[in-house]
C-alpha cells in the first residue's frame, strides 16, 4: 500500500478548517443581522421612554384621585385607558435620529420616506423603521489569504476600505445587508487584483494597486448608494522560504555594489599615485625627502617596526638616517 503524501493530507485539513470557519462566520453573521433588525424595529428614544413613565405615573395618580372623589368606575376606567394608550403611542411613535443618521420608514411594507436627523413621528401599527443608515465614513478591514499572484506565488494581503453611504434609500432597498456586501465585494476585488499582478508589482506598486481596488469596488457599490473614499494596503505577507531567498538576493546585490565601489576607489588611488610619480620622475632629491618623511612618520610611534628593502637603504642612504633617528629617540628617553 502506498501512503499518501503528507502535504496533500495537510492541504485537505486546511480546506476543511476553512470551510468550517466560513460556515461559522455565516451563521454568526445571520444571527447578528436578525438581532440588528429586531433592535432597529424596537428602537425607543430616551425622551419617549421618559414621557411614557411620566404618563404612567399620572395615570396612577388620576385613578387614585378619581376613586377618592367617588366617581363611577366606568369613568375611571375610561380615563386610565386613554392616558395609558397615549403613553404607549408616544413610546412607540416618537423617534429620534442622530445627526449622522437617516431612518427608512416603511408604511404597510412600502417605502414612505427617509426621516432624520432629529425628531419625527410614525404610526406604530402601520409604520416601521427597519433600517437606520449611518452617513459617516466607515472603516472596513478585509484580507485575501493564500491568493496566487500572476507568477503563481501565494501571498496574504491585508487592506482597509474607507467608504460612506451617499444614498440611504438605495442602501436600504437595493441590497439586503450593505455592510457585509461591501466586505465581500472588497475581498473578491482584492483577489482579482492579486491574480492579475506579479509579486514584484504588488510589493513595489502599492499606490497603483490601491487606485485599481478603489475603482473596482466603487463600480460595484455605487448601485447600492455607497461611495468608496479610499483603499489602503496595510501588509503583504509572502512565504518564509521566498522571503529568505529574497533577503539573500538583496544581500548579494549589496555585496556586489560594495565591491564595485571598492574597485572604483582602487582605480582612483592608482590614478593618483600615477600622477604623483610623474612629479618624482626627474627629481630624485624630492623622492628621497618623501621617503625620509615616510620613514620618520613610521618611527615616531613607540614600538613601531618598519621594514625597508635593502635596495632602498643603499639607494637613498637610509641607513644613516635610521641611525640618527634612533639616536635622537634614545637621547629623548634618557633626558626624560
What percent of the chain has a predicted confidence (pLDDT) above 70?
70
Task: Report the Cα–Cα distance between both ends of the chain, in Å, rounded.
Answer: 94
Q: Taking residues 162-178, what's their average pLDDT?
A: 90
Q: pLDDT, tens digit, for every residue of 82-111? A: 999 999 999 999 999 998 999 999 998 888
Q: pLDDT, tens digit, for every residue of 196-237? A: 888 888 888 888 888 889 999 999 999 999 999 999 888 888
Q: Is the pLDDT of residue 303 over 90?
A: no
User: What are the residue boundaries of the structural domains of the chain, listed by start?
Assistant: 43-128, 138-238, 242-282, 284-336
DSSP state, residue 176: S
pTM: 0.61
Structure-derived torsion over alpha carbons of residues 161, 166, 169, 175, reported in degrees to the nearest 10 = -20
Geometric angle at alpha carbon 185, from 145 and 169, rounded to 5° = 150
DSSP state, residue 53: H
**Lowest-confidence pick of 19-33, 137-151, 265-279:** 19-33
Residues 76, 84 contacting (CB under 8 angstroms):
no
pLDDT value for 316: 56
pLDDT value for 3: 43
Q: pLDDT, tens digit, for every residue of 233-250? A: 888 888 777 666 667 777
Q: What cell numbers appear for 21 in the block?
A: 470557519
3-state secondary structure the chain: CCCCCHHHHHHHHHHHHHHHHHHHHHHHHHHHHHHHHHHHHCCCCHHHHHHHHHHHHHHHHHHHHHHHCCCCHHHHHHHHHHHHHHHHHHHHHEEEECCCEEEEEEECCEEEEEECCEEEECCCCCEEEEEEEECCCEEEEEEEEEEECCCCCEEEEEEEEEEEECCHHHHHHCCCCHHHHHHHHHHHHHHHHHHHCCHHHHHHCHHHHHHHHHHHHHHHHHHHCEEEEEEEEEEEECCHHHHHHHHHHHHHHHHHHHHHHHHHHHHHHHHHHHHHHHHHCCCHHHHHHHHHHHHHHHHCCCCCCCCCCHHHHHHHCHHHHHHHHHHHHHHHHHHC
User: What's the pLDDT band for 37 if we cut at 50, 70, 90?
Assistant: low
Q: Which CATH number applies to 138-238: 3.40.50.11720, 3.40.640.10, 3.40.190.10, 3.30.479.30?
A: 3.30.479.30
Q: Taking residues 60-68, what's their average pLDDT?
A: 85
Mean pLDDT of the chain: 78
Q: Taking residues 277-292, what's their average pLDDT?
A: 69
Residue 234: is it exposed, middle or buried by C-beta count within 10 angstroms (0-12/13-18/19+)?
A: exposed
Residues 141, 119 contacting (CB under 8 angstroms):
no
Amino acid at each position: 500500500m502506498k501512503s499518501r503524501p503528507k502535504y496533500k493530507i495537510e492541504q485537505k485539513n486546511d480546506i476543511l478548517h476553512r470551510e468550517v470557519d466560513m460556515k461559522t462566520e455565516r451563521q454568526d453573521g445571520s444571527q447578528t443581522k436578525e438581532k440588528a433588525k429586531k433592535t432597529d424595529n424596537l428602537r425607543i428614544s430616551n425622551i419617549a421612554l421618559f414621557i411614557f413613565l411620566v404618563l404612567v405615573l399620572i395615570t396612577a395618580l388620576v385613578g387614585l384621585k378619581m376613586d377618592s372623589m367617588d366617581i363611577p368606575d366606568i369613568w375611571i376606567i375610561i380615563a386610565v385607558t386613554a392616558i395609558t394608550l397615549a403613553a404607549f403611542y408616544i413610546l412607540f411613535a416618537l423617534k429620534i435620529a442622530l445627526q449622522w443618521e437617516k431612518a427608512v420608514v416603511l408604511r404597510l411594507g412600502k417605502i414612505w420616506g427617509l426621516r432624520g436627523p432629529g425628531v419625527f413621528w410614525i404610526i406604530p401599527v402601520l409604520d416601521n423603521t427597519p433600517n437606520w443608515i449611518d452617513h459617516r465614513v466607515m472603516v472596513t478591514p478585509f484580507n485575501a489569504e493564500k491568493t496566487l499572484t500572476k507568477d503563481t506565488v501565494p501571498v496574504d494581503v491585508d487592506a482597509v476600505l474607507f467608504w460612506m453611504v451617499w444614498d440611504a434609500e438605495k442602501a436600504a432597498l437595493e441590497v439586503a445587508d450593505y455592510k457585509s456586501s461591501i466586505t465581500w465585494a472588497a475581498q473578491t476585488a482584492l483577489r482579482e487584483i492579486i491574480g492579475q499582478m506579479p509579486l514584484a508589482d504588488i510589493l513595489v506598486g502599492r499606490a497603483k494597486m490601491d487606485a485599481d481596488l478603489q475603482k473596482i469596488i466603487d463600480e460595484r457599490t455605487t448601485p447600492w448608494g455607497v461611495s468608496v473614499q479610499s483603499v489602503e494596503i496595510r501588509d503583504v505577507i509572502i512565504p518564509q522560504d521566498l522571503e529568505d531567498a529574497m533577503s539573500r538576493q538583496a544581500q548579494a546585490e549589496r555585496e556586489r555594489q560594495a565591491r564595485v565601489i571598492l574597485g572604483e576607489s582602487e582605480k582612483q588611488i592608482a590614478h593618483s599615485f600615477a600622477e604623483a610619480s610623474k612629479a618624482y620622475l626627474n627629481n630624485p632629491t624630492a623622492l628621497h625627502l618623501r621617503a625620509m618623511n615616510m620613514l620618520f612618520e613610521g618611527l615616531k610611534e613607540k614600538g613601531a617596526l618598519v621594514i625597508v628593502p635593502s635596495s632602498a637603504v643603499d639607494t637613498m642612504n637610509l641607513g644613516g638616517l635610521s641611525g640618527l633617528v634612533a639616536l635622537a629617540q634614545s637621547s629623548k628617553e634618557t633626558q626624560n
